[in-house]
Amino acid sequence: IASSLTELFGPDAIRDRLVAIGKYYSWIDPSGFDYFRVRLHQAPQDARYALNLVLQNCQTVEMQQNAVGALIFKCDLLWSQLEAIDRGDTRLDFRF
């Protein structure tokens, strides 16, 4: 649950991506973005719910550190994915 706190920052990123994708990929049917449009409003609600759960249930220092660790791990994972895409590490080699 703590890792879902990245949703606190999701709407701004989604909003920026929707603009960019609409601009550079105009051939995509607009209905293909429906999920992301819903996330603009649902993500903040999900994040508030998760934050309340973490604040209510992580009463010890160890539990709080674990919650922060889960959030850091997810952020590291997301950055790794973005870096791999940027470097082109996702290209498949189809030599047979």
pLDDT digits (tens, 9 = 90+) for 37-47: 998 888 889 88
Which residues 6+ apart lie within 8 Å of 54 measured at CB? Answer: 1, 2, 5, 67
In total, how many domains does the chain have? Answer: 1
Q: What is the mean pLDDT of the chain?
A: 87
Closest CA to 5 of 39, 43, 41: 43
In a domain, 93, yes or no: no
In a domain, 95, yes or no: no
Which residues 6+ apart lie within 8 Å of 78 measured at CB? Answer: 6
**CA dihedral for 64, 70, 72, 73, sign (positive or negative):** positive
The predicted model scores a pTM of 0.68
In a domain, 96, yes or no: no
Q: Which domain holds residue 76?
A: 2-87
In a domain, 19, yes or no: yes
In a domain, 94, yes or no: no
In a domain, 92, yes or no: no
77, pLDDT greater than 80: yes
